[in-house]
Amino acid sequence: MHKKIETLGAPPAKGDFSQGIMAGNMVFTTGQINLTPDATLLTGTIEEETHQVMKNLEQILSAAGTSFRDVVKTTLYLTDLTVYDRVKKVYAEYVSDPAPARETVGVASLPQGAKIQISMVAIKS
């Protein structure tokens, strides 16, 4: 059985997707860009934008009864791979040891002109 995850602490899911889905004890977040909870695109440094993405993910995970400690897989999408080290430094402020498995993908573009998108998979204990 699948359960939709919804929170006002992250941007609303508009269209044919959910903020997150719980399937059994697994939690899948939708890819988050640097939108604020009121769906305004936060623009600033890549560090500020990454913090916003991580705050959104934190809210979705919390609504599912999980946290960054429960994340087992992360996918990062970047439109500019030269900022990877800066993104990685912010990301490390949120995840704990053992760090989740992660992949980073360079892409030509992201929704709404964002430069970063992150999705996560967590296991609810």
CATH code for the domain in which residue 87 is found: 3.30.1330.40
Domain that holds residue 55: 2-123
pLDDT at 15 over 90: no
Mean pLDDT of 111-116: 96
In tens, the pLDDT along 52-94 reads: 999 999 999 999 999 999 999 999 999 999 999 999 999 999 9
User: How many domains does the chain fold into?
Assistant: 1
pLDDT band at 1 (very low <50, low <70, confident <90, very high): confident
Give pLDDT, residue 63: 97
Q: Is 47 left (phi over 0), alpha (psi -120 to 50) or beta?
A: alpha
Give pLDDT, residue 125: 85
For residues 28 and 13, is the Cβ–Cβ distance under 8 A? no
